[in-house]
Structure 1
Amino acid sequence: MSISHHKVAFVTVADEHAGQRIDNFLASRLKGLPRSRLYRLLRKGEVRVNKGRVKPEYKLASGDLVRIPPMQLLDASEPAPVSAALAARLHSAVLYEDSEWVVINKPAGLAVHGGSGESLGLIEALRQVRAGQPAENLELCHRLDKDTSGCLVVAKKRAALKRFHAALRDKQLQKHYLALVVGHWPRGLDVVNAPLQKNVLRSGERMVCVDKAGKPSKTLFSVVQRVGQYTL
């Protein structure tokens, strides 16, 4: 694998990228850059938008001027080929699909995207197995941790992705989780208020943990079933 040298670059955000997070925008342009290094560039202010510092979750606007610092990158090779077993697994994991969306039942143990030690993520694999589909531009609408299973929404079109992000921003969406816990869930415990903080691991993977410095978060619980020493 060769090394490419990049000079400082200034990129004007096009209309089609308006509403995209700056971290995802950079990841699509800086192939071969580990996510951990990408977040470090943002944290240190080496990446600037309109001459100012921005956080990874900053949403780009049409006409924004993005400064990308000089760097050396490993030239990204083609993603690892999708095995027949993984392709079959992804086909069977489709829960819903229409002209704008694909909803995948993401298995635990599969990262949503490659990089930071992951040769192949779900989105790269999905793009490979659906390469023959016309007019598709598959993009993740949100993320799930590598070890978390559950519904993952993928947009087929940029307009659909922007609508999803707008719905998230306007708190029009609700998230429902099934959790199998060891022991008997206490009766009467149906609301947990605990601040949540986003953390970036050394591997570049992002995880959310309970932290006093985090943002307020309220989770509603209800017992579905008790099975032996476990509660769903």
Structure 2
Amino acid sequence: MASSQHLPATPGVQLLTIDADDAGQRLDNFLLRILKGVPKTRIYRGLRKGEFRVNKGRVKAEYRLQAGDVLRVPPVRTAEEGAPAPVPGYWTEEVARRIVYEDDGLLIINKPSGLAVHGGSGLNYGLIECLRQMRPQERRLELVHRLDRDTSGLVMVARKPAVLRELHKLLRTDKVDKRYLALVSGKWPRRLSMVEAPLEKNVVQSGERMVRVAKEGKRSVTEFSAQERFTRATLVEAKPVTGRTHQIRVHAQHAGYPLLGDPKYSDPKSEALTADLGLKRLFLHARSLRFTLPGQGRVEVQAPLDPDLESTLEVLRKPL
């Protein structure tokens, strides 16, 4: 076993052999857990420079560890305090209220808008750090998948490595039914039930991550269906068939109907309508998850729209 729960910072290189309990975790999450007190910026810098290696090779932060992997950990210094930055109480209280499903191996949280799923890139904490602070006795909490910081809704967090591996397998084979609600600018056409356009990540000069439709991008497919029609907007259900970054947002923009409240993928019409409605956030909500876990059975969870999004719909429902 990689007996590395309390790995000390020492002058020498450490070689850790990954066991079955730690298999399936992202490398960055594993390092953040075992290197208590080491600044996150130091860990991510070491990953970019290739200081942390698996089986003598360079690997990316998102690499999934496998049983038997040999992880090279270079000498690192801990921060003076030696403790992670505390998560503000208002976030832990909010997350505690938003746990909508729990069993021995899985948590599902209705994530609030504005909370990232994990720290990094200038953020000291996110949903996973929040949960780890709330449940210090649970050493193996890991994100199963991600949501954008501004998107609200259902996020799965595994409590056991075996559940994490099984859910990743279901996600890879498209056996997790994920549905979102989005409010788009304009009248979504009845005939438009699918957008298929390849997507490519592109980092702009400011360092902001953007995604664009490009021929050389990865295959990306989203199914859409109108749920409620308004004079200037449409409430749609979106089902991502593939799981690309910002997929629903970029596909809606590509179709000509940007999401309201989207600061990255908008047009003058959607920006004006967002301002008219007084909408202060992205209108995108992960509302349902359906899947079957072997040995456990069917899991079906729904999360209602947050009050601020529901109130926006009420404004649109009022006659002009």
Fold shared, TM-score > 0.5 on shorter chain = yes
Pairs within 5 Å for 1:55-74: 55-74=60-79
Relative to the length of structure 2, the TM-score reads: 0.60
Q: TM-score, normalised by structure 1?
A: 0.79
Alignment map for 1:14-33 (pairs within 5 Å): 14-31=19-36, 32-33=38-39
Which residue of the partner structure matches residue 34 of structure 1? 40
Aligned to 1:106: 111
| Deviation readout 1:33-84 (Å, 9 max, x if unpaired) | 436x64554444333211122333332221111123344453542431542x
Instruction: Please tell me whether residue 216 in structure 1 is matched to residue 219 in structure 2.
Output: yes
Gaps of 5+ in 1: none
Corresponding residue SS for 1:144: coil
**Correspondence for 2:144:** 141
Where in structure 2 are the equivalents of 1:37-56 lying within 5 Å?
38-56=43-61
- CA spacing shift, 1:174–1:39, aligned 2, 3 Å: farther
> Aligned partners of 1:12 and 1:200: how far apart in 2?
35
Question: What do residues 77-127 of structure 1 show as CA deviations (whole Å, max 9, x unaligned)?
Answer: 2431542x4344223212222222221110110122234433332222223
State the aligned residue count.
Answer: 224
CA distance in 1, matches of 2:71, 2:206: 25
Structure with higher RCO (Cα < 8 A, 6+ apart): 1
The one-letter code sitting in structure 2 at the alignment partner of 1:58 is Y
- Select the structure of larger CA radius of gyration: 2
* Preserved CA contact (<8 Å) 1:113 1:120: yes
2:187 aligns with 184
**CA separation in 2, counterparts of 1:130 and 1:203?**
37
The match for 1:160 is: 163
- Give the secondary-structure state (helix, strand or coil) at the position aligned to 1:124: helix
Q: How many Å apart are 1:143 and its aligned residue?
A: 1.6
Instruction: Work out whether 1:117 is the aligned partner of 2:122.
Output: yes
Matches of residues 75-114 of structure 1 in structure 2 within 5 Å? 75=80, 76-83=82-89, 85-114=90-119
Task: Report the CA distance shift for 1:121/1:90 in structure 2 as closer, same or farther (over 3 A).
Answer: same
RMSD value, Cα: 3.2
Counterpart-to-counterpart distance in 1, 2:123 and 2:48: 23
| 3-state SS of paired residue (1:127) | helix
Distance 1:172 1:130 in 2: 29
Does the alignment pair 1:126 with 2:131? yes
How far has the Cα of 1:218 moved from its partner?
A: 0.7
How many angstroms apart in 1 are the aligned matches of 2:207 and 2:155? 20
